[in-house]
Structure 1
């Protein structure tokens, strides 16, 4: 096995190293979210207050993607990835303090640092693929790019799901601060290894990039960013805060049950993302365009609206709400995963190769804005209304995403 790894091309070895970094980071990121959500719900925090704990995480994610894209083009993606790993270690250590010091402000600051870390890591991983994939044949290049982006994104989300379960498990076994200490120790080892083996100057732009270039002036990229914003707002407006609290407070699930269920959902979601290229690539060619993404956005909206209607009429139809949630969430997950995989490929395909992180960073800034919008609205809407209203808003966001994505062109001049 070691000989086979040594014999791999340099680009492939770098891709594997980046993927491994991303995987370990993602495990801690998923576990951290579940730990914070379940621990503070157990302490009696209201849905809106829990949503606020993630506010800085999302806000700083927005800023990080903009600045991080520029920084990656200036100093290289290996350095931005390592900065992300280091920041996550510090964020986890901040949460190992005794419970009396875990104030809302302190947790929000730790989450802010984690948000910076997460988006530096993700932007670096996604951008690096553009620089590592190569082929003299354009069709082979595009299909290869599609596959590698899907594999990275899919594996990341599968591991994030495992992280959800890991977080719930660690909370029940070693407590909140103990879980943070274990994760910080493991990630610190990954950080040191990354410093040693990750190639220098990866993704560094040939020409000096100006800070004002962080904002895109390309119409299709702006439409794609807007579509991504509403796509992730459509997921998070009901998934992030409303759903886990609904499962605990209305259906009587235990914390480990919630962690296991959401873990299985995200794992399945990641698997579907990874398999998406098999559906859309035929004879080493694909037909991914704005119309295809528009159709899948419409399907997502329809599925979400149907789920809301089933929840509303469940008492009349004498259908168990628990069954509707379980089945409906997995159907939603399949359709959302296809949408997300297609979006993720399109941004990497459209991005300029020199200074790729600028375009990818701008795009994932919109992704972070969507998560921010969805997270805050999830807490607000659920606290003052119910899960059905969250689902209706989700369907509306999916429609807006589909309308924006229809206008893109897969070229970047």
Structure 2
């Protein structure tokens, strides 16, 4: 505690925000894996499993749009704590036995809707807070802090995937949910006490119509983000874990462990993105960097699809391609996460960040629906071709992002 109190106030708040984000992310990743593997084991089809996440993604779109407005009016500490509390309720909802079998899917979808609202309130609050804790002239520091927050979050989401698979095997679906709800409740109580009051509250009360961004740069970046995350989730959310389980014959431990390792590696690369993109040479990224890194990613999913139809080992093709995809996608995602916070105006920052993550959620929604439907009807290769097309769209949109010659 002495070491914590000796830190600068902005650093203490950064650590609290990051700790909240970490705790939430562990339960979010574990819950995703629990639901996919549990309901696949019950005999649900890929499309039915995708439907379970439909409200999760749909309400993420709505939450990011309205959550930025709420954060600017109420303060980011409140929206973050509301998100933590709602996740506890969502976890507990899934532990309640559903009395009638035909209510199972609507009930799970409802719990996922609540979890989606909670996740995006928490993420929007965390990302917006960083803008307020770093002086405006220190863009290199802002990039580094955003990369650390985003990368560590995704590494922990990978741990959450493994945790979900492990808990499902060890203590079952209901036991896993109860354990996570208990731990997250303690984190929530600590956050209520320690997080700075009125963090992120706008000086001038925003009007409801302000939820729509008026910034050309943010609108372009948001459109690119939608296609970028649609490209990931169209094969990663449902198609990949079901393919690993049904085609490769992997059990819960292998599926959860592999996806956990992938997301952990993905998060590590995100944290290192400033080094990869030239921060040590005195440069921060701009729209040109976003375009070039999207181009580097664009052909990879199509190459994996082609490789699956050759005489090469499908496991080496898919798993090796997935590793390269994860590294390139991590840099793209980290670049975008920095650019949105950099573009956002400081007063009422959550309005701009919320609008941007609304597009992010829309991409996830599109990707999730397509992941279940396309995989069930056409197979994994079709999901991969769509992924490449989406990245190409993201690259073409990124051409119009602002360019600069700023140095640190």
TM-score when normalising by structure 1: 0.95
Picking from 262, 265, 273, the partner of 1:265 is 262
**Aligned: 1:330 with 2:323:** yes
Structure 1 CA distance, aligned partners of 2:40 and 2:142? 41
For residues 369 and 113 of structure 1, what CA distance do their matches in structure 2 show?
16
Is 2:99 aligned against 1:106?
no
2:233 matches 1:236: yes
Q: In 1, Cα distance between the equivalents of 2:69 and 2:146?
A: 21
Is 1:78–1:202's contact at 8 Å kept on the other side of the alignment? yes
The 3-state SS of whatever aligns with 2:356 is helix
Output the CA distance in 2 between the equivalents of 1:363 and 1:286: 24
1:387-407 Cα deviation digits (max 9, x unpaired): 001000000000000111111
Q: Residue 360 of structure 2 is aligned with which of 362, 367, 370?
A: 367
Measured in 2, the distance between the counterparts of 1:214 and 1:284 equals 37
1:254 maps to 251
- Partner Cα distance (1:373, 1:312) in 2: 26
Aligned to 2:165: 168
- Which residue is equivalent to 1:296? 293
- For 1:63, the equivalent position in structure 2 comes to 62
Structure 1 outlier segments of 4+, above 3 Å: 99-102, 281-284
Query: Hey, what's the Cα distance between the residues in 2 that align with 1:88 and 1:377?
Result: 26
Residue 87 of structure 1: aligned partner: 86
Are 1:214 and 2:211 counterparts?
Answer: yes
Q: Do the aligned partners of residues 364 and 183 (structure 1) sit closer, same or farther apart at CA in structure 2, a change above 3 Å counting?
A: same
| 2: CA distance, partners of 1:103 / 1:283 | 53
Deviation by residue 1:212-237 (Cα, 9 ceiling, x = unmatched): 01011222211100000000000000
Paired with 1:36 and 1:319, the residues of 2 have a C-alpha distance of: 32
CA distance in 2, matches of 1:384, 1:95: 29
In the aligned structure 1, how far is the partner of 2:398 from the partner of 2:340? Answer: 12
Superposition pairs for residues 306-325 of structure 1, below 5 Å? 306-313=303-310, 318-325=311-318
Q: Secondary structure at the match of 1:103?
A: helix
Q: CA deviation at 1:4?
A: 2.1
- What do residues 37-81 of structure 1 show as CA deviations (whole Å, max 9, x unaligned)? 000000000000000000000000000001000000001000000
Question: Counterparts of 1:349 and 1:23 in 2: how far apart (Å)?
Answer: 23
RMSD (CA atoms): 1.2
Matched, 1:72 2:62: no
Deviation digits for residues 16-38 of structure 1 (CA, Å, limit 9, x no counterpart):
00100000000000000000000
Displacement, 1:279?
Answer: 2.1
The 8 Å contact of residues 126 and 348 in structure 1, kept in 2 or not, is answered as: yes
SS of residue paired to 2:92: helix
Please name the residue that 1:405 is paired with. 398
- 2:120 is equivalent to residue 119 of structure 1: yes
1:410 Cα shift? 6.1
Distance in 2, Cα, partners of 1:100 & 1:166: 28
Q: Distance in 2 between matches of 1:34 and 1:357?
A: 29
Question: Could you give the per-residue CA deviations for residues 156-202 of structure 1, whole angstroms, max 9, x where no partner exists?
Answer: 00000000000000001111111100000000000100000000010
3-state DSSP of counterpart to 2:248? coil
Unaligned ranges ≥5, structure 1: none
Q: CA deviation at 1:5?
A: 1.6
The question of whether the paired residues in 2 share the 8 Å contact of 1:349 and 1:410 is answered with no
Which residue does 2:386 correspond to in 1?
A: 393
Superposition pairs of residues 8-19 of structure 1, within 5 angstroms: 8-19=7-18
**TM-score after normalising by structure 2:** 0.97
Question: Aligned partners of 1:49 and 1:283: how far apart in 2?
Answer: 47
CA contact (8 A) 2:140 2:284 kept: no
1:342 and 2:335 equivalent?
A: yes
| 1:281–1:4 CA distance, 2 compared to 1 (3 A) | farther
